[in-house]
């Protein structure tokens, strides 16, 4: 095999990738959380106790995700830090050694730590900006970020969504950033909430819904004085879909009560994506039947899917959002990377293609929670190549598959992928022959 046919990280980094399954809060790096934690220390705290990394953070960018963690320094006492939280470098698992992460340890990371640290609009916006930059640096060109509207003593759920939307609007409307990566938002319904809370999420999704032909934000010259002062300002509308998420071991019995909410979202033109059959307990015929009745276009994870339901997925031509590193590290699947069900579904897609069928079935690789699992999307593309024998052309096809399942921005991504493919062919004519 000539060097030009070898799939390496340089190639997967350069692929024009679409990320469809990423949770905002789970995508915040420990480095960003550390910066937020530092910013919340009382000003009177001696600077020497702000950990050794603070000396570099004031004069240089955040460390890269691959950078080793700074040596842990003695954390300030709980009395000194308003939320009573120790340094994220000490409290959160190092993505480099997270073999202890599983369903019972994963969700408490958020409930007991991150939600407390990131609990007002300012840190929410800081975190969102950093997350967008991280995805962009990894070569993601279209991002659908999902998040569950949260409230705290310092913000309402609406203020939370508004804070995130503003950052996305600023990003998309910035000529440099918006050209590099387009970002849309999905709002998530946590499966443990009440039906009325689910209705609230749908109401927010509709209020902040993206409409391609409507202005996203008032032009400065058209703003009233009140708008310039921040009152009644036109919100940035970037929501393109609704998600069902949360601990798959909880809330199963109340799912049918969400049906009207998801039906309203569908009628409103929002895309539907569902965390689907993550564990055996959430892969029962009854639950899967309820979820499929919501007419989702995309299914997240889809680990424990009965054969009958697999046929429905194929017939409907749904998109499977598959998260290799997350599933393997959290032990949602067995057999390591080589045993991941990506292999089975990739084979299905290839069979459809070879049979000349419409190739409706789609796969979108996703990171899920890169802040916890530490594997950027470019790495998961590389892992797919390594463990399932995918060549460069296959990976470009995988990019095309993910882009085709996006709820918005498909056309632009198609053009970007065409450009990339032409470039690859020009630079490496042996590629297609090698993988054909
Ligand atoms: Zn997820």
Domain boundaries, the chain: 3-41+86-94+106-219+229-435
Task: Evaluate if pTM is beyond 0.75.
Answer: yes
The CA 132 to ligand 1 mean position distance, Å, reads 17
> Over the stretch 380-400, which tens digit does the pLDDT of each residue have?
999 999 999 999 999 999 999
Q: Would you say 368 and 377 are in contact if contact means Cβ atoms under 8 Å apart? A: no
Contacts of 356 (CB under 8 A, 6+ apart): none
The CA 59 to ligand 1 mean position distance, Å, reads 35
Q: Would you say 41 and 123 are in contact if contact means Cβ atoms under 8 Å apart? A: no
Residue in 171, 311, 152, 281 with CA at minimum distance from that of residue 236: 171
The CA 101 to ligand 1 mean position distance, Å, reads 15
Mean pLDDT computed over every residue of the chain: 84
User: In this predicted structure, what is the pLDDT of residue 82?
Assistant: 55
The CA 21 to ligand 1 mean position distance, Å, reads 6
The CA 48 to ligand 1 mean position distance, Å, reads 38
The CA 391 to ligand 1 mean position distance, Å, reads 27
By the 10 Å C-beta count (0-12 exposed, 13-18 middle, 19+ buried), 317 is classed as middle
CA 381 to CA 273: how far, in whole Å?
22
Question: Per CATH, which fold does 3-41+86-94+106-219+229-435 belong to?
Answer: TIM Barrel (3.20.20)
The CA 66 to ligand 1 mean position distance, Å, reads 23
In the predicted model, is pLDDT for residue 95 greater than 60?
Answer: yes
What residues sit around ligand 1, an ion, with C-beta below 5 angstroms?
A: 368
Residue in 399, 333, 412, 417 with CA at minimum distance from that of residue 362: 399
The CA 341 to ligand 1 mean position distance, Å, reads 16
By the 10 Å C-beta count (0-12 exposed, 13-18 middle, 19+ buried), 47 is classed as exposed
DSSP string, 376-407: -HHHHHHHHHHHHT--HHHHHHHHHHHHHT-S
pLDDT band at 427; cut points 50, 70, 90: low
Per mean pLDDT, which range of 36-50, 153-167, 406-420 is the poorest? 36-50
> Over the stretch 298-349, which tens digit does the pLDDT of each residue have?
999 999 999 999 999 999 999 999 999 999 998 899 899 999 999 999 999 9
End-to-end Cα distance, the chain: 13
The CA 371 to ligand 1 mean position distance, Å, reads 13
The CA 244 to ligand 1 mean position distance, Å, reads 9
In the predicted model, is pLDDT for residue 74 greater than 60?
Answer: no
Tell how strand 319-322 and strand 17-23 pair up: unpaired
The CA 334 to ligand 1 mean position distance, Å, reads 18
In the predicted model, is pLDDT for residue 67 greater than 60?
Answer: no
- C-alpha neighbours within 13 Å on the C-beta side of residue 117: 26
Q: Would you say 133 and 140 are in contact if contact means Cβ atoms under 8 Å apart? A: no
Q: Would you say 211 and 237 are in contact if contact means Cβ atoms under 8 Å apart? A: yes
> Over the stretch 167-226, which tens digit does the pLDDT of each residue have?
999 999 999 999 999 999 999 999 999 999 999 999 999 999 999 877 655 454 444 444
In the numeric block, the tokens 């969400």 are attached to 258
């Amino acid at each position: 095999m000539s060097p030009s046919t070898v799939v390496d990280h340089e190639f997967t980094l350069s692929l024009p990738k679409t990320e469809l399954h990423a949770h905002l809060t789970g995508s915040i790096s420990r480095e960003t959380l550390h910066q937020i934690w530092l910013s919340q220390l009382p000003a009177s705290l001696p600077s020497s106790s702000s950990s050794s990394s603070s000396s570099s953070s004031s004069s240089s960018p955040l460390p890269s995700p691959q950078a080793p963690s700074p040596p842990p320094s003695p954390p300030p006492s709980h009395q000194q830090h308003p939320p009573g939280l120790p340094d994220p470098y000490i409290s959160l698992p190092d993505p480099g050694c997270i073999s202890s992460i599983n369903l019972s340890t994963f969700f408490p990371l958020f409930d007991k730590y991150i939600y407390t640290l990131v609990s007002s609009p300012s840190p929410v916006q800081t975190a969102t900006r950093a997350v967008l930059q991280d995805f962009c640096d990894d070569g993601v060109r279209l991002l659908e970020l999902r998040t569950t509207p949260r409230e705290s003593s310092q913000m309402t759920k609406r203020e939370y969504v508004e804070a995130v939307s503003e950052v996305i609007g600023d990003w998309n409307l910035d000529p440099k950033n918006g050209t590099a990566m387009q970002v849309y938002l999905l709002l998530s319904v946590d499966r443990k909430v009440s039906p009325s809370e689910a209705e609230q999420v749908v109401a927010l999704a509709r209020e902040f819904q993206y409409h391609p032909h409507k202005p996203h934000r008032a032009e400065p010259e058209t703003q009233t004085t009140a708008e310039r002062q921040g009152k009644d300002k036109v919100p940035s509308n970037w929501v393109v879909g609704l998600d069902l998420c949360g601990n798959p071991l909880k809330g199963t019995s109340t799912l049918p009560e969400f049906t009207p909410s998801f039906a309203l979202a569908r009628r409103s033109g929002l895309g539907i994506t569902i965390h689907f059959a993550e564990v055996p307990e959430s892969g029962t015929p009854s639950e899967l039947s309820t979820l499929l009745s919501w007419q989702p276009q995309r299914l997240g994870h889809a680990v424990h899917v009965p054969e009958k339901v697999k046929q429905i997925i194929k017939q409907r031509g749904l998109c499977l959002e598959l998260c290799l590193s997350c599933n393997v590290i959290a032990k949602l699947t067995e057999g390591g990377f080589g045993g991941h069900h990506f292999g089975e579904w990739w084979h299905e897609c290839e069979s459809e293609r070879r049979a000349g069928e419409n190739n409706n079935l789609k796969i979108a690789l996703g990171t899920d929670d890169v802040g916890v699992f530490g594997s950027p999307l470019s790495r998961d593309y590389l892992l797919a190549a390594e463990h399932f024998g995918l060549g460069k052309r296959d990976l470009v096809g995988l990019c095309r598959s993910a882009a085709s399942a996006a709820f918005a921005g498909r056309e632009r991504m198609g053009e970007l992928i065409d450009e990339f493919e032409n470039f690859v062919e020009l630079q490496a004519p042996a590629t297609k022959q090698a993988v054909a």
